[in-house]
Structure 1
Amino acid sequence: MKDSDAAKSPSSLLWGVFGAGGHHHRHNGKASSSHFWSTRDCKPYFLFHRLFVFLLFLLLLYFFYTYSLLSSPLPSCDGVAVVRLSNFTAAVANRTEVRSSPSTPALAAPRPQSTATELQHIVFGIAASAKLWEKRKAYIKVWWRPRQMRGFVWLDKFVKEMKAKDPALPVLKISGDTSRFPYTHRKGDRSALRISRIVSETFRLGLPNVRWFVMGDDDTVFLPDNLARVLSRFDHRQPYYIGSLSESHLQNIFFSYSMAYGGGGFAISAPLAASLARVQDRCLRRYPALYGSDDRIQACMAELGVPLTRHPGFHQYDVYGDLLGLLTAHPVAPLVSLHHLDVVQPLFPGETQAAALRRIFAGPVRLDSAGVIQQSICYVTARLWSVSVSWGFAVTVVRGVMSPREMEMPTRTFLNWYRRADYTAYAFNTRPVARNPCQKPYVYYLASARYDNATRTTVTEYALRRETRPTCRWRMADPSALVDRIVVYKKPDPGLWDRAPRRNCCRVLPAAKERKKRMAMEVGTCRESEISELGKQ
């Protein structure tokens, strides 16, 4: 090896640093006894030179060591592969373990998400009384599905169906004794204590695989599939208390704007039901002066710290009169429940309430429950008519052009729960019934519903309700003179509520010459940039 090459090696550098000055060196093959630096005047420069050479040695040593690490294969320990720092950090954050594999190391798969909530995951607790049972059991039979749903009717006394079981009804049970709880409200009834404990009593039955406990009255009508759709959007493993308010502003003031009204129904997740069952008996003793059962439930929820999650599909219907104005302008949300059906007029004129409900459930609810009562707005341009389709219930036609902003607002065909209160006592916007006789709506009620297998489309027909009408002096076509029936075509859309809330669009179809006095329409998802407006002539 040449001297110049030796001087570049780490060993020669080390020798030069520690051997220079005071040690003998060979020069041209001869030993030299003279020092490399012989004068005292050069001593500072000599020290600087030593320091520089030492630092250079450390730098080269670092480069050699780093190069050897990068060029060698990655080690492994006990089958656990070495991963990048970012992957390791992610693994720690997710509490997952990284295992060695022939391919690139990867994090463990995340825990699969919970499956969607179905009817089998819901248990119903229905409050009933022996006094009204004979009449109201017909409502339960309309929506109850034996062998598909689980639930119990909790009564105050024995009824004959407990002995001779009716397979079309849920299991009947007698509520527990509540005489030990105080009740001091002067105008109320002690049955509120019994009803308020239905969720807890149902929970204590210990049914398996329950995600939600749903409470309702014997005159509450649920749309089961829509209820399951709504609850699927919430994590049943978290404490949820889901329901809605009263339509009456005064009711909400007297009771609470934080309370789910029991007649409209409410849902409590299984973990929250477990917590409620543990504390409710103690909680009830602290509120003897409350009026009903639902405000007692809310009082216990307040103690548990769980607020009400509102959903506009639950309907208490604290109103009198005709529900037409409310049902033809339903919020853009799935219809979940109806209540107080004994108080309001039948949904279809001239029928019993139970018969009207059976018509809706046998047709539209069976064909496309997600779209039931959903409003669509369009216009008959040639005749200047405004049309509102409440799918599966009714179609209203009005002469003249009304804006969607007006038509999506319920018409006051109903009265407030407090009869002396005016329209300012509602908890939502309403509009008055038209005073101009020319703007009185023509109502076409559901007459039939079927499914066309060839086109995979639902076909619903709506018949005009004939009634005496005031004279109209407008020079505008009379809908009753030109249209007896309206046919609406709609493809089932079970995923309607998996998308962002939006009204469906309706379109007037060309009239068939062979079908006089009929108007055909199509209802479905709005096309790109489609809006509800009066089209060009």
Structure 2
Amino acid sequence: MGTLSKSIAIIGLVLFLSYTFLMNPSYQLPLFPAKPQEKFPVIKASPTNISHIVFGTVGSVNTWKHKRSYIESWWQPNVTKGYIFMDSAPGNEYLPWPSTSPPFRVSEDITKLKGYPNYSNKIQLRIVQTVLEVFREGDENVRWYVMTDDDTVLVIDNLVDMLAKYDHTKYLYIGTNSECTHNNFAFSFDMAYGGAGYALSYPLMEALSKTLEMCIERYPHLYTSDNVLGACVADLGVDRTHEQGFHQIDLHGDISGLLSAHPNTPFLSLHHIDTIDPIFPSKNRSESINQLLQAAKFDHSRILQQTICYNKPISWTFSVSWGYSVHIYENVLPRSFLKKPLETFTPWWSGSGKEPPFFMFNTRWPSFTGNPCVDPHSFFADSNQNIDGNQILTTFSRRSSRGLLACAASGNHSAEPITKIMVISPIPKTVEVSILYHRIIVFT
């Protein structure tokens, strides 16, 4: 009897499904699926370029006078598209608004949001709402939205090259986390940190435009805007795609050790410029940023890329961070050692109760004993120029005297008399070439 009941049930299910597919056209399946190229032609999109990107930057009238130079260092009038969203309308001292800055918009009234009363950090609510506001501007032919802060500097050409690798028709959320373990623990290891900048594909932005305000109500306990956005993106089933070239810089002090050992990945952004020392010792912060981006104009793909080479007869090691610094070591040191950033900086949180590990990457400590065999002679870039039409000449000057004797273990060949270094690099035909092959000339 049981077997008969099962048979009847199975026959009934088959008849029901057959009826459903035959009588409801939306469920009908062709006997022979059409070839994709016949019924659904695949249109190959043109390569992503700067015209496909809209930049959304969050600013404040109170700090605009100070932050303006950072934004104008990367903004390209009549080339880049985007807006800076202010907390209030700029006063007469800033008008007429210059074309050297992104067009300004005044942020919408966030007090009208249903979730507003429950948020303790109202400023962060304005920042996350900016994601919707930049989308509502309705720019055409957009593939990517890049969100930044007003103290973030971008290398536009590298950003375009990076985004061109990805399929802009998919839901994509691209960024990086903090350099500091504690910051990631406090907020999130998985979100894209907003200061470093992050990219959202158009389809994802379109989806967020329908859900973000409701999602904001869901997360009043999250303290930062990028944490809220990361949660809302995750709720759409999208994970962050990690790109090392974004730099949150949750650090203090001298970050030359980090920039001098940059991984061989395109440098995309630099955040928190005001919380660190000027990256070039002889310049202020704005001059330093302009110096770095000037080098990027000669070859954006190579900027900050680390190359390590050796002078074996005198047992010296050279570590070149292209367009930024050169370190000379009076010893032969392996690349596995030198690619670890020299810990010249301190973590964002360094008070009591903050135990190591402090950073999300390996570091090497400065030699507090003044070991001449591992302490570098440091040189920083002064200028760049084209020579012979196919080479780039970068000149570096000594930061200061190292004040140590020569390394006896490798033959007492002192680099102390060297005052300048010239690095000659070929103008690359491909990105792969750009991280290789330097000729180094030293001057005493």
Q: Please report the TM-score for the alignment, with normalisation by the length of structure 2.
A: 0.86
Structure 1 alignment gaps of length 5 or more: 1-88, 98-107, 519-537
Structure 2 match to 1:296: 228
- Distance (Å, rounded) in 1 between the aligned partners of 2:390 and 2:434: 21
Structure 1 match to 2:34: 92
- Aligned residue for 2:177, secondary structure, equals coil
Q: State the shift of 1:90 in Å.
A: 11
Structure 2 match to 1:84: none
Return closer, same or farther for 1:172/1:508 CA change in 2, 3 Å cut-off. Answer: closer
Structure 2 match to 1:457: 391
Query: Contact between 2:254 and 2:277, CA under 8 Å: does it hold in 1?
Result: yes
Equivalent of 1:211, from 143, 147, 155? 143
Q: State the shift of 1:466 in Å.
A: 2.0
Query: Contact between 1:314 and 1:335, CA under 8 Å: does it hold in 2?
Result: yes
| Root-mean-square deviation (Å) | 2.2
Superposed counterparts of 1:315-354, under 5 Å: 315-354=247-286
Q: State the shift of 1:114 in Å.
A: 1.1
Deviates more, 1:296-305 or 1:214-223: 296-305
Q: Any idea what the Cα deviations from partners look like across 1:495-518, whole Å, max 9, x if unmatched?
A: 31xx6xx99334556x6xxxx826
Structure 1 match to 2:67: 136
Q: State the shift of 1:494 in Å.
A: 6.1
- Distance (Å, rounded) in 2 between the aligned partners of 1:260 and 1:368: 27
Structure 2 match to 1:182: 116
- Distance (Å, rounded) in 1 between the aligned partners of 2:35 and 2:224: 48
Structure 1 match to 2:128: 196
Structure 1 match to 2:307: 376
Structure 2 match to 1:418: 349
Q: State the shift of 1:467 in Å.
A: 3.4
- Aligned residue for 1:480, secondary structure, equals coil
Which amino acid counterpart does residue 361 of structure 2 have in structure 1? F
Query: Contact between 2:86 and 2:104, CA under 8 Å: does it hold in 1?
Result: yes
Query: Contact between 2:426 and 2:438, CA under 8 Å: does it hold in 1?
Result: no
Q: Any idea what the Cα deviations from partners look like across 1:124-170, whole Å, max 9, x if unmatched?
A: 00011122111111100111100011010001012237631111101
Query: Contact between 2:425 and 2:437, CA under 8 Å: does it hold in 1?
Result: no
- Distance (Å, rounded) in 2 between the aligned partners of 1:255 and 1:398: 39
Query: Does 1:386 find its partner at 2:328?
Result: no
Return closer, same or farther for 1:90/1:122 CA change in 2, 3 Å cut-off. Answer: farther
Equivalent of 1:153, from 56, 76, 84? 84
- Distance (Å, rounded) in 1 between the aligned partners of 2:380 and 2:429: 24
- Distance (Å, rounded) in 2 between the aligned partners of 1:351 and 1:428: 28
Query: Contact between 1:332 and 1:503, CA under 8 Å: does it hold in 2?
Result: no
Equivalent of 1:433, from 347, 363, 366? 366
Q: State the shift of 1:94 in Å.
A: 2.4
- Distance (Å, rounded) in 2 between the aligned partners of 1:166 and 1:267: 26
Structure 2 match to 1:479: 415
- Distance (Å, rounded) in 2 between the aligned partners of 1:183 and 1:478: 65
Q: State the shift of 1:253 in Å.
A: 1.1
Superposed counterparts of 1:43-58, under 5 Å: none
- Aligned residue for 1:262, secondary structure, equals coil
Q: State the shift of 1:361 in Å.
A: 1.7
Q: Any idea what the Cα deviations from partners look like across 1:69-89, whole Å, max 9, x if unmatched?
A: xxxxxxxxxxxxxxxxxxxx9
- Distance (Å, rounded) in 2 between the aligned partners of 1:192 and 1:492: 43
Query: Contact between 1:240 and 1:306, CA under 8 Å: does it hold in 2?
Result: yes
- Aligned residue for 2:336, secondary structure, equals helix
Q: State the shift of 1:473 in Å.
A: 6.3
Query: Does 1:517 find its partner at 2:443?
Result: yes
Greater RCO, 1 or 2 (C-alpha within 8 Å, sep 6+): 2
Query: Contact between 2:405 and 2:414, CA under 8 Å: does it hold in 1?
Result: no
Which amino acid counterpart does residue 96 of structure 1 have in structure 2? E
Structure 2 alignment gaps of length 5 or more: 1-30
Deviates more, 1:483-492 or 1:132-141: 483-492
Structure 2 match to 1:443: 378
Which amino acid counterpart does residue 325 of structure 1 have in structure 2? G
Query: Contact between 2:377 and 2:402, CA under 8 Å: does it hold in 1?
Result: no
Q: Any idea what the Cα deviations from partners look like across 1:230-250, whole Å, max 9, x if unmatched?
A: 000001111100000000111
Query: Contact between 1:183 and 1:289, CA under 8 Å: does it hold in 2?
Result: no
- Distance (Å, rounded) in 2 between the aligned partners of 1:90 and 1:449: 63
Which amino acid counterpart does residue 247 of structure 2 have in structure 1? H
Equivalent of 2:193, from 261, 272, 285? 261
Q: Any idea what the Cα deviations from partners look like across 1:292-342, whole Å, max 9, x if unmatched?
A: 110110111011111100000000010011111111111121000000000
Q: Any idea what the Cα deviations from partners look like across 1:191-211, whole Å, max 9, x if unmatched?
A: 111110112111111111111
Return closer, same or farther for 1:473/1:225 CA change in 2, 3 Å cut-off. Answer: closer
Query: Contact between 1:376 and 1:503, CA under 8 Å: does it hold in 2?
Result: no
- Distance (Å, rounded) in 2 between the aligned partners of 1:261 and 1:448: 32
Q: State the shift of 1:95 in Å.
A: 4.5
Query: Contact between 2:328 and 2:378, CA under 8 Å: does it hold in 1?
Result: yes
Query: Contact between 2:260 and 2:306, CA under 8 Å: does it hold in 1?
Result: yes
- Distance (Å, rounded) in 2 between the aligned partners of 1:263 and 1:90: 52
Q: Please report the TM-score for the alignment, with normalisation by the length of structure 1.
A: 0.72
Which amino acid counterpart does residue 380 of structure 1 have in structure 2? N
